[in-house]
Amino acid sequence: MVVLFFLWIFAAVRKEYRKSPDEDKGEFWRDALGGGAGLMSAGLLLNFVNFLFFDEGLRNLSFCLVLAGMVNASIYIWKESRKRSFMLLGMAAAGAAIYYWYYF
């Protein structure tokens, strides 16, 4: 499940990178890694560490980071393209619900 989330994040970032104009590509990575994709990646990496040590604090922190990253990425993409806004916010909510249900 964690690997699928990570691959989905990577594919979404790569797709948006290809659509961005050439002059904005350097700024794109700064925004992407500092925004939703960076938060989700950090949360998923912490989740992997949690599997090794079974620490409840790491599990809660990883859940909060993934949830914040999903919401942040959805809002960022919503600002860029309002056509997909409800779909992306729904995906973020569904992903957070699945993540919460699976780990708690």
Helix (H) or strand (E) holding 101: helix 85-103
* Residue 36 lies inside a defined structural domain of this protein: yes
Domain enclosing residue 74, as ranges: 31-103
Q: What pLDDT digit, counting tens, does each position of 9-24 carry?
A: 667 767 766 776 666 6
* Residue 78 lies inside a defined structural domain of this protein: yes
* Residue 32 Cα distances to 12, 22, 83, 97, angstroms: 10, 16, 20, 23
Q: What pLDDT digit, counting tens, does each position of 44-103 carry?
A: 677 777 777 777 777 777 777 777 777 777 676 666 665 555 555 566 666 666 666 666
Q: The tokens of 73 are what? A: 């990425």
Provide the number of structural domains found in the chain: 1
Mean of pLDDT values over 30-53: 68
